[in-house]
Amino acid sequence: MVSSHRKEPNYLAVFWWLVGLTIVEVGVIYLPLAKVVINILLVGFALSKVTLVAMYFMHLRFEPVTLSVIALIPLLLCVILVLALLPDHVAVRHKIAPTPHKSVIVR
């Protein structure tokens, strides 16, 4: 499961990438861009940083594929959870009034 004699990754390069992405992330929120564009950029940068930490610091890049599959399970479940909550968000955003039930309609 573990190969302790593998070549050591360049941790300092990963560090500088993480610092650089964090600086860009903070800078992005002050850019005169549409909110949705800023949010997409922020999520993209965050996922890039998370991938770097998982691949190099947590050594997933050098581990068997099974371990990466195990690590991806929470991400998959979170996506399902967000998708399940999405209709509710849309309903609240558009202020959809609940349809009155037939039995309570008074003529």
Partner 1 sequence: MKAAVEPTESPLIPESSGKLGMWIFLVGDAMTFGGLLAGYGALRYGSADWPVPSEVLGIPLTAVMTFILICSSVTMVKGLAAIRRGNHRRMRNFLLLTVLGGLLFLGLQALEWTELIHRGLTLTGNPFGSTLFGTTFFVLTGFHGAHVTGGAIYLSCIVILGVRGRFSGENHNQVEIAGLYWHFVDLVWILLFTFVYLV
Q: Give me the residues that bind partner 1 (CB under 8 A), please.
A: 1-4, 8, 11-12, 14-15, 18-19, 22-23, 25-26, 28-29, 39, 42-43, 45-46, 49-50, 53-54, 56-58, 64-67, 70-71, 73-75, 77-78, 81-82, 85, 88-89, 92-93
Closer residue to partner 1 in complex, CB, 35/102: 35
Q: What is the DSSP code (8-state) at residue 95?
A: T
Output the DSSP codes for 2-23. --TTSPPP-HHHHHHHHHHHHH
Min dist. Cβ of residue 99 to partner 1 (A): 20
- The answer to whether the beta carbons of residues 49 and 22 sit under 8 Å apart is yes
